[in-house]
Amino acid sequence: MPETTFNPHEFKAQFPIFDQAENEKLIYVDNAATTQKPQAVIDRLTHFYLYENANAHRASHRLARAATDAIENSRKIIAGFINANDRDIVFCRGTTEGFNLLANGLASQCHAQEEIIITSAEHHANILPWRRLAEQRNMKIRLVPDIDGIPDLSQLASMLSDNTRIVSFTMASNVLGCKLNLESVAQLLKDHPCFYVIDAAQGLGHCPIDVDKLGCDFLVASAHKAYGPLGAGFVYGKQKVLSTLDPYLLGGEMVKSVTLDAAEFNKAPGRFEAGTMQLASIAGFGAAIEFLSQQDREGMHAHEVRLIQHIHKELSSLPAIQLISKPENNLGICTFNIKSDVIEATSGDLAQWLDEHDIAVRVGYHCAQPLYESRALQQGLRISVAGYNTFEDCDKVVRVIREWIDNIEESKTTTTPCSNSILESLQNAKNWQARYKMLMEFGQEERDESIQADDNIIHGCEAKTWLAGSQVDGKYQFITDSESRIIRGLGVLMKHWFNGKDADFIQNFDWETECQKLGLTRHLSASRNNGFRAMILTAQCSVVPTSSDSE
């Protein structure tokens, strides 16, 4: 790959979030979920509210004119960015709403026994709206075969028929990172009377998009994954085609005339922009696209490619890591699992460890559960890069992962402390990393798979976790198990508190104060989805005071 003049440090300097004191050491590699925002976008949002705040396309006063100009200017900027006409751009809240708009709008043009072709690598936003449409119109959804999760588009030709009505593919998987050769799809579909839809959510901020070359009927994307504001996105489609779709939302501005008996809707794009839109975010979206256009995009892409290849290479040398993604043709994503036969821990355990080292990643199914299930994979951990990430960032991520693995290996030889020393061990720990290591050591205790029944599952846990309790002479005993080792460690702590106690003690136990004393509070909030809160509340709700307790 040729050398470029792109400088990630200069690029990063344009993002004020990294200048905040609390973010001095932050390594943000959750960019496939959302990117950070440059000063230019933040300034544009502020400018709108300071100087242009009014309802666009409505009143004739100067603020309304300014707001209208701001929205229509963003429409032109985005259209130019993807080589489209500005009348072909419909604003919406994001990719998810865009797909719902299309599925709703196309419903009247779909019929029983017709087919919708997607891949197993799609985001839920490109699955669920089509599934509902299929259910409503008695249609069939078909999946393109894959090779190791990557859609094999060479099989598409044999799948096409007179019944094919919609073909909807992602530009790049938000789990695998693989960029699909969608230009070839247009050639296959040119003789088929079907609608071709592209999910460009992961592509907009990483690679050039030309809708003419792609040959698609519709393309959907969000602002927030391309350095733009939250709450804005667009649907591209030829105005003539868009105007044949049924409107998604009904209300003000999208209609020409209204009586109590009839209504005449506007042509696109207005027919899909009902009510007061997210005007400041749309103005900020245009600023984000202008910002991107001013960058060395080829150099930025080359930099991101080098980063993701480097991460794959480094992680591939770790026996405990099972790579799900591949570095080839990848738009900045590395996703992996923890090999349970090598170390007894989960991706969620690692994500928490990374967070405590100021490294932001994403763990879960990444709104792509069919992909994980098709490959029989547990929830994965995803590292996703952007132009402001550096090789130093990537090396630290790998180093912290290595340290975590080493800690797990060391804990294999550590014996769980006796009940009396559990609290003392946590209280004496110097920092969260030490407490984390202890909790992982506590999670070494022998698992009890006998309680892994549906009735014992604790709802609200990221990892599957089970709890069962029994009561003898008014005293309770709990058994816990979890796929997550750190949750099992926390279960040991809960059992230290509750086992052998009566219902009154358990229900009135102030566990949050006790966690604060142990230095665990900021790490065990509900927003972290680590399951401890759900475990405690489930145990407290399961006990029943005896008559003597209540007297």
Give the active site residues: 367
- What does the block give as tokens for 244? 């044949």
The answer to whether 116 and 160 are in contact (CB under 8 A) is no
- DSSP strands (E only) in 4-73: 27-28
- What does the block give as tokens for 306? 């080098």
Residue type for 515, please?
Answer: C
Residues whose CB falls within 8 Å of the CB of residue 214, separated by 6 or more in sequence, listed in order? 182, 183, 186, 198
The answer to whether 539 and 496 are in contact (CB under 8 A) is no
Shortest CA distance to 484 belongs to which of 525, 436, 519, 516?
A: 436
- What does the block give as tokens for 421? 């020393």
Shortest CA distance to 426 belongs to which of 492, 518, 547, 340?
A: 518
The answer to whether 85 and 185 are in contact (CB under 8 A) is no
User: How far, in whole angstroms, is CA 129 from its chain's centroid?
Assistant: 18
Shortest CA distance to 382 belongs to which of 314, 325, 460?
A: 325
Distance, CA of 524 to CA of 519 (rounded, Å): 10
Helix or strand (DSSP H, E) at 289: helix 279-293
